[in-house]
Amino acid sequence: MWNTHSLFASLAVAAFGILSLTSLEAFAAPIQSSNITKRAPTWSFPYGSTKVRGVNLGGWLVLEPWITPSLFDGTGNPAIVDEYTFGQYQDYNTAHAKLVNHWNTWITYNDLAAIKAAGLNHVRLPIGYWAWDISRGEPYHQGQLPYLNQAIGWCRTLGLKMIIDVHGAPGSQNGFDNSGQRINYPLWHTNSDNIARTNQIIKTLASAYSSQTDVVVGVAPLNEPAGFRGNDVLAVTRQYWYDSYGNLRYPYGTGQQGPLIEFISDAFQPPSYWTNFMHWSNGFEGVIMDTHYYGVFSQAEVSRSWDQQVQAACAKSSDITSFTLWTIVGEWSTAFTDCAKYLNGRGIGARYDGTYPGSSFVGSCAQWTGSGANFSAQYKTFLRRFWEAQATSFERGQGWIYWTWKAENADEWSYSAGLNYGWIPQNPTQRNYPNICG
């Protein structure tokens, strides 16, 4: 039942004989190569010659308890653990007023101006399906779209590129609170209605933004589908990437290509799983792989020494360069613990200090999270090394987008705090440790 849209994308591109510009191989030849047809659109950012260096606008149009714990603590209700329950368990007017105030203040023009001033060239903006569709009675609030469009205008003024990231899908694609709904098992892939609704949103995005690619370079059709759940999720995800390709790359209802790029998630799978998937040699064009890297979501990772964290980050470059599509690291941070309050979910502890169910104590969280004003000089030096190791490693691919721009009380995750306290350079190409990855 997932094949109702079938392989429209591959059939369409096969008919027009289009060569991909999104694989490393395609750029191996000079741009004048006669192998590149004139049908290939011109991207609004020079992918392949300029690295992606960007930051996520996390916790703005999709709430995350660890990014803005005050919004959740302020409800006085421990059952409110995500944006779904934020609407479900509060009076509508009360919840809506809080959301509108948050939307108005969390990300402003000044934030984007600071992002531009920091030498970054992309922002990735997470938004949930509910901004377009709550037709099945979901308790989400709407009103996000004017803020999305305002941010696009700000980016246009400043000269920033944007990736619109569908961070939550109907039924939840991963069960994480950042999908909008924290549940034990994701349901998006189990229901054809969920998938049809998500496909319709991608069509809506393509229609709205194919004419605005001076800013909106592309769309991530779905953030982090839970491929670790097995082939049931992966089979649906693979078909959804094909469907999204047709919807994004052919938005006009004809054989004419549009200019939007599709950013597909690796769904927590290794490069070998995706070998030649949607590859240029099969006629696909305008596809970039988005992989995420965090060294904090397992007991083994939080048990690493600082040097081991740096080594692991450097080693990640071999994965990134093994994908057969161009690849960016669309989320990463300088955190080396999972100590940030609510990072694992509201009311759930940390592996690092042994308060997460089934974890074992590594150390106290006290000195590793919170305000950077309280971080030791030694800790800040490590954060700089860790930032440089990751940025260097990820630029062996097509670049990176850091998670996230700001957080209320977790500066180890905050790009703006890193700039302020000095562990992130004002110029992202500057290195104190130029040989950190060899």
Residues with active-site annotation: 224, 331
Taking CB atoms within 8 Å and a gap of at least 24, the contacts of 179-185 are 179/128, 179/223, 179/224, 180/62, 180/82, 180/83, 180/84, 180/128, 180/129, 180/130, 180/140, 181/82, 181/83, 181/84, 182/81, 182/82, 182/84, 182/345, 185/229
Q: Reply yes or no: is the peptide bond before residue 404 cis, omega within 30 of 0.
A: yes
Structure tokens at 204: 């809506």
Q: Are 333 and 404 in contact (CB under 8 A)?
A: yes
Could you give the CA distance from residue 40 to residue 51 in angstroms, rounded to a whole number? 21
Q: How many CB atoms lie within 10 A of CB 150?
A: 14
Q: Are 293 and 329 in contact (CB under 8 A)?
A: yes
Residues 6+ apart with CB under 8 A from 392: 314, 431, 436, 437
